[in-house]
Amino acid sequence: MSEFQQKCSIIGRDRLAPDVFRLTLQAPKIAAEAQPGQFVMVRVIDGLDPLLRRPFSIHRSCADGSISLLFKVLGKGTAMLARRCVGDELDLVGPLGNGFDFSDERPVCLIGGGMGIAPLLFLAEQLHSTGRATEKDHILLGARTKDELTPLADEFSALGYTVQLATDDGSIGRKGFIPDLLGFVLPTVEQVYTCGPHLMMENVVRQCQQAEVHCQVSLETHMACGIGACLGCTVNGKRGLVRVCQQGPVFNADHLEWSLV
Ligand SMILES: Cc1cc2nc3c(=O)[nH]c(=O)nc-3n(C[C@H](O)[C@H](O)[C@H](O)COP(=O)(O)OP(=O)(O)OC[C@H]3O[C@@H](n4cnc5c(N)ncnc54)[C@H](O)[C@@H]3O)c2cc1C
Ligand code: FES
CA–CA separation, 184 and 186 (whole Å)? 6
Banded model confidence at residue 256, pLDDT cuts 50, 70, 90 = very high
Is the CB–ligand 2 distance for residue 241 below 6 Å? no
Which ligand 2 atom sits nearest the alpha carbon of residue 230? 2
Q: Range with the lowest mean pLDDT among 3-7, 189-193, 241-245? A: 3-7
What is the predicted pLDDT for the residue at 134? 82
| Residue 56 near ligand 1, beta carbon < 6 Å | yes
243 Cβ closer than 6 Å to some ligand 2 atom: yes
User: Is any atom of ligand 1 closer than 6 Å to the C-beta of 21?
Assistant: no
Task: Fill in the amino acid letter for 246.
Answer: Q
Ligand 1 pocket check for 72: Cβ under 6 Å = yes
Percent of the chain whose predicted confidence (pLDDT) is above 90: 86
Tens digits of per-residue pLDDT, 203-251?
A: 999 999 999 999 999 999 999 999 999 999 999 999 999 999 999 999 9
Domains in the chain and their CATH numbers?
4-96 (2.40.30.10), 108-200 (3.40.50.80), 219-261 (2.10.240.10)
What would the pLDDT profile of 130-147 be if each residue is shown by its tens digit? 888 788 899 999 999 999
Ligand of minimum distance to the alpha carbon of 219: 1
Mean pLDDT of the chain: 94
Q: How confident is the model at residue 260 (pLDDT cuts 50, 70, 90)?
A: low
DSSP string, 24-80: EEE-HHHHHH--TT-EEEEE-SSSSSS-S-EEEE--EE-TTSEEEEEEE--SHHHHH
- Per-residue pLDDT at 2: 84
Mutation test residue for ligand 1: of 44, 56, 230, the one with most atoms within 8 Å of CB? 56
| Per-residue pLDDT tens over the stretch 62-81 | 999 999 999 999 999 999 99
Backbone angles phi, psi at 14, to 5 degrees: -125, 140
